[in-house]
Structure formats: C-alpha cells, structure tokens
C-alpha cells in the first residue's frame, strides 16, 4: 500500500474511532445527569447521590491498569467494543422497576459504566499512536486535541441530552433510547474499523503492567496531581458553594457546569494553535508542560486571594473559572499528547492504560478530599488544596525531557 493510501486509510479509521468515541461520550454524560436528576426526584439525599458515583471512579483506576494489558493482547478494537457493550449493559440495568433501584444496585451499574468509559477512552486514544507515522509529531498533537476536546464538549452536551430525554420520555425510555443509539454505533464501528489494531505480537505479561519508562512515570504522577487539583474543588466544593453561598438554583448550577465543560472541550480542540506555535514542526515537550502548569498554579492562587478578600465574589469566581477552563484545557491537551509521544508502539495500550490509571487515581483522590476540605474550610480550603496539588504537578513536570526523541 502506498504512503498516500496508508494516510487516507489512517484518516478514515481516525474518523470512525472519533465517531464511536462521540457516541459513547454522549451516553456517558447523559447517564450521569439522568441518575442525578432522577434520584433527586426519588428523594435521595445529596450524599447518597454522590455515593452512587464512587465505584464509577474507583473501577476506572483498575480498568486503566488491566485494560492496557487486555488491549495489548486482544487489540485496541476489542477494548473499544467491550467498553461500548458494557455501557449498553449498564444502561439496561437501570431500566428495572424503581423499587429495585437500591443504592447498591445503582453503584454496581455505575461501576460497569466506569469500566466501560475507561476501556473506550483507552482504546480510542491509543489508536492515534498507530494511525499516524512515528515522525508526524505536529499532526499527532492536532489529532489528540480534536479527539479529547470534542469528547469533553460532547460530555457537556450529554448533560443536556440526559435532562431533555428525562423530561420528554421519562427515565426508563431515556435509557432505552441511549442504549439503542450506542448499540447501532457499536455495530457500525465493528463493521468499518480494521481488525486487530494494536494487538502486540509479543504476549504482554502482568509484570509489564507498570511502566518502566521514567518519562511515563513522571508524566503519570504529574497527571494524577493535575486532575486531583481540579476535582478537589469541582466535585463537591464548587457546586455546593454556588448553591449554598451564592443562592444558585440546581438548574443554574447544572447548566453552568455543562457550559463550562463544553467551553473547556472547545479550548482543547484549538490547543495546538495556542501551544504549538513556538514549536514549529515539533510538538510540546517537558518544558512546555512545566510552563503551562505554572500558569495554572498562578490562576488558582490569584482566584484564592480574590475570594479571600471577599468582595464581589460571584463575578470574580466566574471570571476565574473561565481562566481556569482555558489554562487547564491546555495543560490536559499537552499531557494527552506527551503520553502518546512517550508510549512504545508495541505496547501503546499498556502505557496509555497506566497513564490514565494515574488520571483516575487523581480524580478519585480529588473527589474524596473535595468533600472533606469543603467541610473543614469551605471553598478556600478546596482551592488551597488545589494549589498544593498543582505545586506537586509542577515539580514532577520538571523531570520530563526537554526534547522528545522518537520512541
């Protein structure tokens, strides 16, 4: 096959992977909003509703670790298909009669949904390493940014979709509609995507689950603190503060978060235009990660100082959240690019899986500490914790190579 034909085939496969990822992401955002709104209608407390998602985050840690091993042995395609199939099962599990929807039962369904999400994400992002030539660094950054950014924008759209389906069709029919749409997407993806993509000729062993690459280890540790710095105030502290202290309605809070996520995703899609100008044909490196991490730390410190002085908090908080969205999106895009640049083509799913395991650990740690920090010191405590996390992430990013060699 000629290089031109290979490039065309790679673009087609990329579009197929992206569309499958989009379909899954819509259901992932929608199911979360459906569960929150529906169980609020049933009279569940805020703490009970929050507990429904603990397994979702916890099983993400396990899935990213072992999912990489599975993808290497069976192929990236299989990991994606399995993720979509498990998500369909998780959706259908919730269609039982309302009296059967106990906290434990819904936590189990959300655990499956968390497994599905990370299998799908790992497969979709790992595929980009294989669909581009090894020397196409600037293209890789662009493709990663589009895939990641569109995913986050669509997740915000999924929040709207979940609320719309619930109000128009009710809880059970909304789930049936989402499951049917995802099933059609799964069938089309299986028919169109090349088989065996990403399957390693060498049998991956369990002792290879943990990366032996120092670059990936440093990057993964930095990613853990980066995403922990967001969730330590976003999961509990910020929504509770907006509602309890600023008097926002539940609809206001939900809509604001949906718009924030969509905007965050859109910034990610244009990250290469913002970040890569100074790199010409070379993608970002460790120095880039350190610079933008420092900028994010500065944003959080300034926002903390502004809220501490206590004047016109609402306006300052909204402006600060906008700045945080922009800079955090750039940091996330740089990290998502670097993991694929550092990953070994022969075991890309294992390297990516290990990396996103660290990401899931950060989200889980941030989720747990968010409630504790807010209860102890309210939003200022959450922001202070976020600053500490970002400082750790910055220190770890200084260990990354300043120039990337092809792996």
pLDDT of residue 407: 41
Q: How many CB atoms lie within 10 A of CB 150?
A: 19
Task: Map tokens 């085939």 to a residue.
Answer: 9
Mean pLDDT of 184-198: 79
Closest CA to 72 of 25, 130, 16, 20: 130
| CATH of range 3-192+209-397; options 3.40.50.1820, 1.10.287.950, 2.40.50.100, 1.20.1250.20 | 1.20.1250.20
Mean pLDDT of 339-367: 78
Q: How many CB atoms lie within 10 A of CB 134?
A: 11
Is the C-alpha dihedral spanning 233, 58, 353, 113 positive or negative?
negative
Which is more confidently placed, 356 or 226? 226
Q: Cβ(389)–Cβ(228) under 8 Å?
A: yes
CA–CA separation, 67 and 72 (whole Å): 9
Q: How many CB atoms lie within 10 A of CB 165?
A: 20
Q: Which of 104-113, 154-163, 241-250 reaches the highest mean pLDDT?
A: 104-113
Mean pLDDT for the chain overall: 80
The dihedral over CA atoms of 37, 40, 41, 42, expressed in degrees to the nearest 10, equals 130
Domain boundaries, the chain: 3-192+209-397
Q: Confidence band (pLDDT; 50, 70, 90) for 309?
A: confident
Token pair, residue 274, equals 């913002």
Whether 312 has a pLDDT exceeding 90, the answer reads no
Q: How many CA atoms lie within 13 A of 12 on its CB side?
A: 10
pLDDT tens for each residue of 168-188: 888 899 999 999 999 999 999
Token pair, residue 135, equals 């020397």
Whether 349 has a pLDDT exceeding 90, the answer reads no
Q: What percent of the chain has pLDDT over 70?
A: 79
Token pair, residue 167, equals 């109000």
| CB contact set of 121 (below 8 Å; sequence gap of 6+) | 21, 83, 151, 356
CA–CA separation, 233 and 366 (whole Å): 8
Token pair, residue 375, equals 């209860």
Which is more confidently placed, 356 or 293? 293
pLDDT of residue 277: 58
CA–CA separation, 332 and 148 (whole Å): 9
CA–CA separation, 219 and 209 (whole Å): 16
pLDDT of residue 406: 43
pLDDT tens for each residue of 81-103: 888 999 999 999 999 988 888 88
pLDDT of residue 131: 61
Q: Confidence band (pLDDT; 50, 70, 90) for 31?
A: confident
Q: Cβ(72)–Cβ(19) under 8 Å?
A: no
CA–CA separation, 24 and 255 (whole Å): 21
pLDDT of residue 384: 93
Which is more confidently placed, 208 or 131? 131
DSSP codes of every residue in 52-74: TTHHHHHHHHHHHHHHHHHHHHH
pLDDT of residue 102: 85
Whether 67 has a pLDDT exceeding 90, the answer reads no
DSSP codes of every residue in 301-368: HHHHHHHHHTSSHHHHHHHHHHHHHHHHHHHHHHHHHHHHHHS-GGGHHHHHHHHHHHHHHHHHHHHH
DSSP codes of every residue in 92-131: HHTTS-GGG--HHHHHHHHHHHHHHHHHHHHHHHHHHHHH
Q: What percent of the chain has pLDDT over 90?
A: 22
Inter-axis angle of helices 137-169 and 250-269, to 10 degrees?
160
Q: Classify 136 as helix, strand or coil.
A: coil
Token pair, residue 268, equals 């990610």
Which is more confidently placed, 59 or 278? 59
pLDDT tens for each residue of 235-286: 778 877 887 788 887 667 767 877 888 888 888 888 888 876 555 456 788 8
pTM over 0.75: no
pLDDT of residue 206: 47
Residue 378's region, left for phi above 0, alpha for psi from -120 to 50, else beta, is left
CA–CA separation, 92 and 87 (whole Å): 9
CA–CA separation, 117 and 91 (whole Å): 12
Mean pLDDT of 199-224: 68
Whether 205 has a pLDDT exceeding 70, the answer reads no
Whether 393 has a pLDDT exceeding 90, the answer reads yes
DSSP character for 204? P
Whether 404 has a pLDDT exceeding 60, the answer reads no
CA–CA separation, 67 and 83 (whole Å): 10
């Amino acid at each position: 096959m000629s290089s031109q034909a290979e490039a065309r085939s790679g673009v087609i496969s990329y579009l197929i992977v992206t569309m499958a990822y989009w379909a899954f992401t819509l259901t992932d955002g929608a199911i979360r909003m459906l569960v929150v709104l529906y169980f609020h209608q049933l009279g569940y407390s805020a703490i009970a509703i929050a507990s429904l998602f603990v397994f979702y985050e916890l099983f993400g840690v396990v899935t990213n670790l072992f999912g990489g091993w599975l993808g290497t042995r069976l192929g990236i395609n299989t990991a994606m298909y399995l993720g979509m199939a498990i998500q369909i099962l998780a959706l259908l599990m919730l269609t039982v009669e309302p009296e059967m929807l106990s906290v434990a039962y819904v936590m189990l369904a959300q655990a499956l949904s968390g497994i599905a999400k990370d299998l799908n994400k790992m497969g979709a992002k790992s595929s980009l390493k294989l669909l581009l030539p090894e020397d196409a660094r600037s293209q890789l950054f662009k493709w990663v940014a589009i895939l990641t950014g569109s995913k986050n924008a669509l997740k915000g759209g999924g929040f709207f979709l979940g609320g719309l389906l619930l109000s128009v069709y009710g809880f059970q029919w909304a789930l049936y509609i989402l499951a049917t749409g995802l099933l059609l997407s799964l069938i089309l993806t299986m028919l169109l995507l090349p088989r065996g993509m990403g399957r390693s000729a060498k049998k991956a062993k369990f002792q290879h689950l943990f990366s032996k690459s120092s670059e990936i280890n440093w990057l993964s540790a930095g990613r853990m603190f980066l995403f922990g710095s967001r969730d330590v105030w976003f999961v509990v502290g910020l929504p509770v503060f907006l509602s309890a202290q600023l008097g926002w309605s539940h609809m206001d809070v939900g809509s604001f978060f949906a718009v924030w996520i969509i905007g965050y995703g859109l910034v990610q899609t244009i990250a290469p235009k913002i970040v890569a100008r100074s790199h010409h044909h070379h993608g970002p490196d460790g120095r880039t990660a350190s610079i933008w991490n420092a900028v994010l730390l500065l944003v959080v410190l300034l926002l903390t100082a502004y809220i501490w002085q206590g004047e016109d908090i609402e306006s300052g908080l909204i402006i600060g959240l906008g700045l945080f969205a922009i800079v955090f999106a750039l940091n996330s895009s740089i990290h998502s690019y670097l993991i694929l640049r550092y990953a070994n083509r022969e075991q890309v799913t294992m390297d990516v899986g290990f990396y996103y395991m660290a990401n899931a650990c950060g989200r889980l740690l941030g989720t747990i500490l968010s409630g504790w920090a807010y209860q102890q010191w309210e939003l200022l405590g959450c922001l202070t914790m976020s600053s500490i996390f970002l400082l750790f992430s910055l220190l770890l990013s200084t260990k990354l190579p300043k120039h990337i060699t092809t792996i």
